Amino acid sequence: MMTQNGKLLYISDNAAEYLGHSMEDLLIHGDSVYDIIDKQDHQAIQCELGRPVNSSSNSNPGDELRLFLCRMNVSRNARRQMRFGDQK
């Protein structure tokens, strides 16, 4: 979950684990979603976050759901685990 400016408000434990970072590190040290999104996708995310709120909906404008796909930067350890599996 993030603000319209890309400030991270919440990231699940599963997502943090998949990216190879702790949830606390991502929320405290990662000021923005742009810190963990691949640079090639920054413009697409900016366009999506800047899209006007649908005024025809009866719900609260702050509750609008937006879904998009992007490439995420993962830690080196997470990349190694993805490549070789969990070989313990």
The 10s digit of each residue's pLDDT in 6-45 is 888 888 888 777 888 777 777 777 678 888 888 999 999 8
Q: Which residues contact 17 (CB under 8 A, 6 or more apart)?
A: none
Average pLDDT of the segment spanning 65-73: 81
* Sign of the alpha-carbon torsion through 45, 80, 86, 35: negative
6 in Cβ contact with 32 (< 8 Å): yes
Instruction: State the pLDDT at residue 78.
Output: 59
pTM above 0.75, yes or no: no
Instruction: State the pLDDT at residue 58.
Output: 57
Q: Which residues contact 79 (CB under 8 A, 6 or more apart)?
A: 20
